[in-house]
Structure 1
Amino acid sequence: MKYKIVNLFVFFTISIVGFSQTDYFKLGKEYYNNGDFEKAAATYSEVVKKEENLPKVYDTYLSTLYKLKNYPEAEKIIKKMIKMTAPDNYTYRIDYALFYKQQNLTEKAEKEFSSFISSIQKNSTAIDVSGSYLQKIGEYTWAKQLYLQARKNFDRYAYCFQLSTIYNRLGETDNMLDELLNYLNQHPEEIEPIQNVFQNELETDEQFSAFETKVYDRINKDPSQIIYNQLLLWLNIQRRNFSKAFTQAKAIDKRSHETGTQVMEVGNIALENKDYDAAAMCYQFIADTYKDSYAYTVARRMLIQTREEQIKNTFPVEKSKIVGLINDYNQLIKENGRTAYTLESLRNMALLHAFYLDKKDTAIVILQSLIENPYTENRLRGKAKIDLGDIYLLTGEPWESTLLYSQVEKDFKEDPLGHEAKLRNAKLYYYRGEFLLAQEQLDVLKLATTREISNDAIQMSVFITENSGLDSTTDALRDYSAIELLIFQRKYNEALVASNMLLMAYPHHELTDDVYWLQATILRQTGKPTEALEMLKKISTGYADDLLGDDALFTSAQIYEFDLKDNAKAMQLYQDFLVKYTNSVYVVEARKRYRILRGDKI
């Protein structure tokens, strides 16, 4: 073997005559990458004869020597680098400790590393460089040892963020959470990036609950630290536990004198997520607490709007309750006058008249007065124009609709409101079966800055694409879009008849499950939950793995819980849903509903 190595060195000494220095580096790297470690070692041994070349090939040369178990040469180049880079030779001294570890000489490795960290424990620069290097090479246990030792010489909160990362890598979740909370205690301005870390690392209910307990413990020990309340507020919003979020927002409001700002925000998020009870609590608190502020009128309006959403989502919708809502809005305007904070109520009233009481003329008069009112704020005027366009669509005047939508598009270019108007135009083309024109609008909206509008545009575009030309025509899709228009116009009986005709005309068509979904929607809204469940079951059994599979099962559970008041059956379906659709957007809500029905305190 010794003869072979000598000859190999002679061969390389002869063969690389005339090579440039760069050629040596490339050749050595090429041999290394190809697994020719002996040739790589021979090449690098020639390269490092010039001492200044050693830093340039050190990492690869050391790895090569370890592959060949040539420990004497490895030790030689590590010591040379330590000498060459002194006193800032921290990474190479770590490499020397790792040199023993490479040979499974654990005791020597630990002794060498302990000696190293003892010599730098008061040198913050050395600790930063060494800690980063240890994390880079995956030596997390040593990195932990380094930072904990160094912490003794600084303060108890030193290196919290670094240690949290290390504990995470080591699977020590409890310690990771403690370190992040320690870091946040010292750097409250960093709450958003810390929340992002929590969001990425906390996955299960158990982890969230353990984290919540930790934060409550911190509040009990240090009630003056408001940052923990802010963290709990964020946590409960993430978990969609808006009642608890309200409690934290209220505590923050009381100490920060914010006149209900965060409570209002929680109420708005709760309303958006259909937690009407929590939303009402938030708005009622503001209305009771800040009677002399601008927030009072807003909260009163939002209280009525919360009841409105609850009534509109309780099927079938009772007209007497709609009339009651309109009276409440009128009373609000009467008490507070037509101000910037009450004019929004006119929009709500108009839409209730048009879509639930079939009083389209009344709705048109209200919206036109709002649009023409010189005191109406521009965005509210734009929203009213979109609403008026929707009502003209109800009355079968699509040209009036598109004219209004286009006005808003023009007035609010590159603005979410303008994008919303463009989406309405796209839907109008879609309803009329003009799919190419609809796609032109949707292609622009796919790049919209608002995620919700962008997602709606993408979803609608994909739907049109997938269902166009399946039978060399768009007849089935044209019939389907016409049914959707009938539903928008609240012509439910006509829509049911048309949907049954579509199913007969195109049996086993790709649109079949979508038609079942439309029928289920109509039946539920018209107070026929049992029949709606039959349609949803057809999707759950025959199209479970398709796009509407999770929607169908989740909605079935909702019908049993809210419409039929059968909590046992609802629990069973929520549980089935959580097992079957682990990646669905409804998972968080399904888990929450299941826990509430089970009687958990959340």
Structure 2
Amino acid sequence: MRFLFILSFLCCINMFSQEDIVAAEYYKNGDFEKASLSYQRLYDKSPNNNSYLLQLVKSLQQLEKYQDAESLLLNQISKLNYPPLLIELGYNYQLQNNIIEAEKQYENALATIDQNPNFVFIIGKTFEDRSLLDQAITAYEKAMLLKPDLNFNVQLARIYGEQGNVEKMFESYLNFVELNDTYINTIKRAFSEFISENSDNENNILLKRILLKKIQTDQNLLWNEMLSWLFVQQKDYNRAFTQEKAIFFRQPESLDRIEELALIASADKEYQTALNIFAYLTETAQDLDTKLKAYYHLINIKTRIATKAEYKDILNEYDIIFNTYGKHTQTLSIQISYAHFLAFYKHNPTDAVTFLKQSLELPLNSFQEAGVKMELGDILVLQEKFNEALIYYTQIQRNLKNSTLAQEARFKVAKTSYYKGDFKWAESQLKILKSSTSQLIANDALDLMLLITDNKYEDSTQSALKLYAKADLMDFQNKPDAAISLLDKILKEHKGKTIEDQALFKQAQLFEKKQEYHKAEANYQSIITHFSDEILADDAYFHLAELYKYQLNQPEKAKELYEKIIFNYQDSIYFVEARNRFRSLRGDAIN
């Protein structure tokens, strides 16, 4: 008997579930007549189920049967204390343009919050669902006044955002995060939809004003953090640095945030600001690791922007660092950097190799040893001692199997073989690296493989490809003038061949490195004009746009080129970046 009862009960549940699905499908498909009949049957069987009632009411409203909907709602209100029914009744009046009666019912619903502030959860949501946003705001504000431990600032912020009241939206989000600082990243993401990289943007100015006012009246460092974040979005790294120093002054636990800001500025090529921040870290850091990391970045940025006349000063700085902190494992990254400087900038690879071999005698772990050997291999490639370089790269592969460093070493094996003109072996290594776990290595491997495969069959002697590989090596050896001349030879002797657009693109990048921006512009434009259907077309569009935006101060031209990528090259790796740059130039919000 008990089994039969359970079976019967389960069958009833299943029947209700099926009917509910059918009714919902009718409503979704706009068949409101059938939906109303289905929900009527469900409601008749479960007269206390407000979900069925409300769906029935919505179906009747779609059929403009407002009197029937009103009768149902009044009947249910007389039996149940369920405030959303009052809102639905008011909305039913509103659909009939009876605004006075509608407002009366909304007020009745809001009045129930006085009896029980917890009603606000369902009342506020019902108002929002019916797009009655002003009433939803009133509900949330009333509940927070009656019961201060309730916090509906996120809901309020969202509503203000929908209404376009950006100032109140900012304030509500900030009121929320003040009590729930673990949500700070969520709030930043929400703000990103309303601000832009342009510091003159109205919303940026508004948020800055609100935060500055809070900083003046409240000692909460959260406001400094938010203001620093805003300045970073605007790429105003100096002002962000000021805020980060204020935070560190009052909470000197960690310099991680300031270090991160320096790295962001450096990545964005704001070198002078990055230098100022790293210099501050060298002066302020108490632990040696942080101090040495700052010195490492400081001297590398200086090297990147130095003229040949300043190389002597950089050598003196290395001497000061080594005399002060020694040559041990903690300064290893600076030792590797020093060797690179000797070889690639001072053109003294012999001393660089000797120096690194001394570094190898330190008590290094396998990853530190690999770092030294990787630089040794690079310097040997610089000297065109390819076979010796391959030995070091292969050792890294063998000792650190499956690591990112091992994959990088395999790529360098392929690149070295390519420099030698051994294209077949290079290609075999690159095929493996296409599936690298490092996206950067995988992309570089694919680019080099395509270069080889596209050009190895056109000429049985592979003379054009060998010349290009030699120019590539000269670029690696920091000999841009020689590389440019060799690429000129390719463009004259192999005009019309597959390699022509590659040579134009490589030469354009070298022109950029030498700050000969108009020459680079001409090359990119030539690719766009003559090779618009080839694989490098989107690269040319993007790099020319970047040139106009950052070097030639022609933002309108840049915007046009970014737009070309958005509409014509949706599969391009530059698509997302081009879209973001285009929106930024147009003054859109960041996200």
Which category describes the TM-score, using the shorter chain as reference length? 0.7 to 0.9
Rounded Cα–Cα distance in structure 1 between residues aligned with 2:550 and 2:17? 70
Rounded Cα–Cα distance in structure 2 between residues aligned with 1:408 and 1:228? 47
Per the alignment, do residues 76 and 437 of structure 1 end up closer, same or farther by CA in structure 2, a change over 3 Å counting?
Answer: farther
Q: Which moved more, 1:473-482 or 1:264-273?
A: 473-482
Rounded Cα–Cα distance in structure 2 between residues aligned with 1:80 and 1:471? 84
Q: Deviations over 1:392-451 (max 9, x none)?
A: 222334444444334444555665544544544454566553464344333332x43xxx
**Which of 335, 339, 350 in structure 2 is aligned with 1:361?**
350
Query: Which SS does the other structure have where 1:391 is aligned?
Result: helix
The equivalent residue for 2:140 is 147
Aligned 8 A contact 1:406 1:421 in 2: yes
The equivalent residue for 1:257 is 252
The equivalent residue for 2:506 is 518
The equivalent residue for 1:329 is 318
1:250-329 aligned within 5 A: 250-258=245-253, 260-289=255-284, 295-311=290-306, 317-318=307-308, 320-329=309-318
1:390-469 aligned within 5 A: 390-409=378-397, 411-412=399-400, 416-425=404-413, 427-428=415-416, 432-434=422-424, 436-445=427-436, 447-448=437-438, 454-455=439-440, 457-458=442-443, 461=446, 464-465=449-450, 468=453
Are residue 131 (structure 1) and residue 124 (structure 2) matched? Answer: yes
Are residue 213 (structure 1) and residue 213 (structure 2) matched? Answer: no
**Which of 317, 339, 342 in structure 2 is aligned with 1:350?**
339
**Which of 527, 535, 544 in structure 1 is aligned with 2:523?**
535
**Which of 362, 377, 382 in structure 2 is aligned with 1:373?**
362
Per the alignment, do residues 124 and 416 of structure 1 end up closer, same or farther by CA in structure 2, a change over 3 Å counting?
Answer: farther
Are residue 551 (structure 1) and residue 532 (structure 2) matched? Answer: no
Rounded Cα–Cα distance in structure 1 between residues aligned with 2:505 and 2:545? 11
Aligned 8 A contact 1:406 1:422 in 2: yes
Per the alignment, do residues 20 and 262 of structure 1 end up closer, same or farther by CA in structure 2, a change over 3 Å counting?
Answer: closer
The runs of 5 or more residues in structure 2 that have no matched partner are: 1-13, 567-573
Per the alignment, do residues 235 and 138 of structure 1 end up closer, same or farther by CA in structure 2, a change over 3 Å counting?
Answer: same
Letter in 2 for 1:240: K
Q: Which moved more, 1:198-207 or 1:284-293?
A: 284-293
Per the alignment, do residues 587 and 233 of structure 1 end up closer, same or farther by CA in structure 2, a change over 3 Å counting?
Answer: farther
Letter in 2 for 1:521: Q
Per the alignment, do residues 429 and 98 of structure 1 end up closer, same or farther by CA in structure 2, a change over 3 Å counting?
Answer: farther
Per the alignment, do residues 291 and 63 of structure 1 end up closer, same or farther by CA in structure 2, a change over 3 Å counting?
Answer: closer
Rounded Cα–Cα distance in structure 1 between residues aligned with 2:375 and 2:293? 21
Aligned 8 A contact 1:433 1:481 in 2: no
Rounded Cα–Cα distance in structure 2 between residues aligned with 1:388 and 1:195? 44
Are residue 169 (structure 1) and residue 134 (structure 2) matched? Answer: no
Percent identity between the two aligned chains: 22
How many residue pairs were aligned? Answer: 550
Letter in 2 for 1:433: F
Aligned 8 A contact 1:392 1:400 in 2: yes
Q: Deviations over 1:265-313 (max 9, x none)?
A: 32233223222211221232233445796644544444323311222xx
Aligned 8 A contact 2:26 2:32 in 1: yes
Rounded Cα–Cα distance in structure 1 between residues aligned with 2:68 and 2:302? 79
Query: Which SS does the other structure have where 2:44 is aligned?
Result: coil
Query: Which SS does the other structure have where 2:273 is aligned?
Result: helix
Letter in 2 for 1:364: V
1:499-510 aligned within 5 A: 499-504=487-492, 507=495
Query: Which SS does the other structure have where 1:201 is aligned?
Result: coil
Offset of residue 193 of structure 1 = 2.1
**Which of 146, 149, 153 in structure 2 is aligned with 1:160?**
153
* TM-score, scaled relative to structure 1: 0.78
Rounded Cα–Cα distance in structure 2 between residues aligned with 1:34 and 1:260? 58
Letter in 2 for 1:394: L
Q: Deviations over 1:230-257 (max 9, x none)?
A: 1122222232222112111111111112
Per the alignment, do residues 21 and 575 of structure 1 end up closer, same or farther by CA in structure 2, a change over 3 Å counting?
Answer: closer
Offset of residue 196 of structure 1 = 2.1
The equivalent residue for 2:483 is 495
Rounded Cα–Cα distance in structure 2 between residues aligned with 1:44 and 1:591? 47
Rounded Cα–Cα distance in structure 2 between residues aligned with 1:462 and 1:523? 20
Offset of residue 119 of structure 1 = 0.9
The runs of 5 or more residues in structure 1 that have no matched partner are: 1-18, 312-316, 449-453, 560-569, 596-602
Offset of residue 551 of structure 1 = 1.1
Q: Deviations over 1:532-556 (max 9, x none)?
A: 4543453566678732223124336
Rounded Cα–Cα distance in structure 2 between residues aligned with 1:465 and 1:121? 71
1:61-100 aligned within 5 A: 61-79=56-74, 82=77, 86-87=80-81, 89-100=82-93
Q: Compare relative contact order (CA 8 Å, sep 6+) and give the higher one, 1 or 2.
A: 2
Letter in 2 for 1:444: S
Rounded Cα–Cα distance in structure 2 between residues aligned with 1:136 and 1:302? 53
Per the alignment, do residues 156 and 466 of structure 1 end up closer, same or farther by CA in structure 2, a change over 3 Å counting?
Answer: farther
Offset of residue 163 of structure 1 = 0.8
Rounded Cα–Cα distance in structure 2 between residues aligned with 1:333 and 1:103? 84
Letter in 2 for 1:383: G
Aligned 8 A contact 2:109 2:123 in 1: no
Q: Deviations over 1:32-51 (max 9, x none)?
A: 45544334434444444323
Per the alignment, do residues 460 and 197 of structure 1 end up closer, same or farther by CA in structure 2, a change over 3 Å counting?
Answer: farther
The equivalent residue for 2:235 is 240
Rounded Cα–Cα distance in structure 2 between residues aligned with 1:437 and 1:152? 71
Rounded Cα–Cα distance in structure 1 between residues aligned with 2:578 and 2:23? 55
Q: Which moved more, 1:482-491 or 1:97-106?
A: 482-491
Rounded Cα–Cα distance in structure 1 between residues aligned with 2:447 and 2:515? 32
Rounded Cα–Cα distance in structure 1 between residues aligned with 2:87 and 2:398? 64
* TM-score, scaled relative to structure 2: 0.79
1:551-590 aligned within 5 A: 551-555=543-547, 570-571=552-553, 573-578=554-559, 580-581=561-562, 585=577
Offset of residue 499 of structure 1 = 2.7
Offset of residue 65 of structure 1 = 1.3
Rounded Cα–Cα distance in structure 2 between residues aligned with 1:262 and 1:101? 53
Offset of residue 503 of structure 1 = 3.5
Rounded Cα–Cα distance in structure 2 between residues aligned with 1:121 and 1:399? 84
Per the alignment, do residues 123 and 548 of structure 1 end up closer, same or farther by CA in structure 2, a change over 3 Å counting?
Answer: farther
Aligned 8 A contact 1:429 1:438 in 2: no
Per the alignment, do residues 141 and 340 of structure 1 end up closer, same or farther by CA in structure 2, a change over 3 Å counting?
Answer: farther
Letter in 2 for 1:241: D
Q: Deviations over 1:297-336 (max 9, x none)?
A: 544444323311222xxxxx52x43343123202210122
Rounded Cα–Cα distance in structure 2 between residues aligned with 1:256 and 1:526? 44
**Which of 37, 62, 65 in structure 1 is aligned with 2:32?**
37
1:474-489 aligned within 5 A: 480-481=468-469, 483-489=471-477
Rounded Cα–Cα distance in structure 2 between residues aligned with 1:138 and 1:153? 24
Q: Deviations over 1:168-190 (max 9, x none)?
A: 12221111111111122222333
